[in-house]
Structure 1
């Protein structure tokens, strides 16, 4: 089964995923939304509040049962609005919380890490530890 992991919070209904030449399976997978091709037909799925996609079970699940980066959703319940580095992924990605809900996972450009102080990706030597090397 082919899985294309796209962990951005992109509204997938706007993407032109064509199931005509794809095998049955899940595609365009994000933490909250995923697409399924079955018998060459596209079906969009959105996880309920507090749930994220679990690639192991191919279903929406409690974030504590899901590997990084989507397991970061559980942290939103206790976090204020903002973006947070995913340290388990060496800060090369970050998640966004709004109203205690995960809004998405994003990746930094190659060679950069997430700078929580500036709320953007930055060079490691411009970012304080634990994500960067700034002294």
Structure 2
């Protein structure tokens, strides 16, 4: 009976603990919990982070899940919206950072916010210009 109680407790703690991917690179990721505590997780030396599965995996022949590395060698130092995100549910909700020609990984905007590239932070959809938001241009 104790064995089943411990198993149920472990299952409930996994279900009740609300965590979300906060940012990721090819070789690790960070999660944020309901108390806004950020925990960094590094993949083993032979693994990479798979954003579709939201965990570190061993790459298979012909499948490299970390294909969304951006070439920052000719980009200005700033954050860029992931407008071409392959996951429609996350379109404009993620962004990446380039600095000194290096790619510094992808980040997620919290909740319902989208990335405002002009202002360089996550913002309400109605305060962001298209294609990520609905802010209309003021004429005159």
Q: Which runs of 4+ in 1 moved over 3 A?
A: 4-7, 43-47, 52-57
Distance 1:76 1:83 in 2: 11
Q: Which has the larger radius of gyration?
A: 2
Structure 2 unaligned blocks of 5 or more: 1-18, 30-41
Computed over aligned residues only, the root mean square deviation of the Cα atoms, in angstroms, reads 3.4
Matched with 2:98 is 97
What is the deviation of 1:109?
1.1
TM-score (norm 2): 0.52
Matched with 1:76 is 72
Contact 2:125–2:132, Cα closer than 8 Å, also in 1? yes
TM-score (norm 1): 0.53
Matched with 2:28 is 33
Structure 1 unaligned blocks of 5 or more: 10-29, 35-42, 60-64
Q: Secondary structure at the match of 2:72?
A: helix
Distance 2:45 2:100 in 1: 18
Distance 2:105 2:133 in 1: 22
Q: Give the total of aligned pairs.
A: 93
Distance 2:112 2:134 in 1: 13
Indicate whether 1:109 and 2:110 are aligned.
Answer: yes
